[in-house]
Chain A
Amino acid sequence: MINMIPRVQNETDHIFREIVKNHGSRIYNLALMKCNQVPLAEDISQETFIRVYRGLNSFRDESHIGTWIYRIALNVCHTMIKKESLLTTRTVPLEDRADLEPADLDSDVQDIFIKDVEKDQIREAISALPPLQSDAITLFYLKQFQYSEVADIMNIPLNTVKSHIRRAKANLKLLLMEVYDETR
C-alpha cells in the first residue's frame, strides 16, 4: 500500500512522456498554425501539456485520449491568443468572405503562384482565418484526423466541419494569392 502512490505516479509519468513523444510536435504545429509566433506556440505547448499532466490521473476514457488532448490544446490556443489580442485584429476582414467556395478560385495559373508561397505566409494566412475555420483546417491537416474526429474535438456537427474546411481552403487560396501579388 505504501508503494502504491509512487507506482501510479511513475505510470502516469510514463504515459505522459509517451503522449509528449506522440503528440508534442503536432501540438506545437497546431499552436504555430494558430498564432504564427514561435515563442507563443512554445508557451501554448507547455500550457497544454501541463493541463494534460494534471488531468491525466482523472482521465479514464483511453480510447479518446487524442481527442481530449487536442480539445485542451485548442482551448489553450484560444485563451492565450486572445490574451495576445491576435484573434480580434486578424479575423475581421475575412468574415465577409465566408461564403466563398474553392471552385470560385480554381485555376492552374493561381496554383502555380501559390506554390511559391513560404511556410510563414501559410501560417500567417491560417492565423488570419475566422477561428472555427482555422481550428478545423489545422486539425484536419496536422493530425490527419477524420472529419468526424474534428467534429468531436470542436463539438460541432460533421457537416459544419466539412463546410468550415471547404471555406477555409477558399479563404486561404484568396489570402495567399494576395500575398503573392504583394510580394511579386
Chain B
Amino acid sequence: MRPDKLHKRDVIDDLLDNSWENPPAHLEQQLMAIPTQITVAQYRPLDRITLFLNTVLILWGVGMVLYFWGPLNHMLGSIIQGIIGVSISSLQFLNHPIAGLIALTGLLFGWVWMDMEKHPGITKV
C-alpha cells in the first residue's frame, strides 16, 4: 500500500476502489488504430478527380461572382444602407471586383479545405 494512503479507510474508499468499469471491447481496437488513421490522414494524396472537380468549382464560383458583381454589389449596398442607415460611400472598397473576387475565393478555398478535412475521419476512428 502507498505510504500516503495509510489513512483510515471508510466505505467511500471501498466504493471507489470497486467502481471500476471495463471499457467496451471495440474501444481498444479504435485506440490502437489511431496511428494508422493519422498517418493516412497526413499522407493522403489529393486524388486527381477531386483536384479537378474542386478546381472547376472554384473557377465556376469566381466566374459567377465576376458576372453578377454589379447587381450583387448594388444589392449589398442597399442592404447595408437599409440596416445601418448611412451611405455606403465609406465602404468604397466593396465596389471593386477584386474585393469580391478575394472574398469568394477565400470562401471557396475554405469549402474545399473542409471537404478534404472530413474524409480521414481521425476524430471519429
Contact = CB atoms under 8 A, between A and B. Distances in A.
Is chain B found bound to chain A in the same assembly? yes
Interface of A: 9, 12-13, 16-17, 20, 24-25, 28-29, 32-33, 38, 42, 45-47, 49-50, 53-54, 102, 106, 110-111, 114-115, 117, 119, 122-123, 137, 141-142, 144, 146-148, 169, 172-173, 176
Would you call the interface of chain B mostly helix, strand, loop, or mixed? helix
B35 A16 contact: yes
Contacts of A32: 21
A20 B124 CA distance: 17
A102 B35 contact: no
B84 interface: no
A146 B122 contact: no
B12 A169 contact: yes
Contact of A141 (B17, B30, B39): B17
Given A54-B38, A114-B15, A117-B15, A24 B123 contact: no
A53 B12 contact: no
B68 interface: no
Given A20-B31, A42-B24, A119-B21, A102 B10 contact: yes
Contact of A20 (B15, B21, B32): B32
A173 B125 CA distance: 38
Q: Size range of the interface on B?
A: 20 to 34
A35 to B, nearest CB: 12
Given A42-B24, A115-B14, 16 more contacts: A12-B35, A13-B35, A16-B35, A17-B35, A20-B31, A24-B28, A25-B23, A42-B30, A46-B123, A50-B34, A53-B34, A102-B10, A111-B11, A115-B11, A122-B16, A176-B12
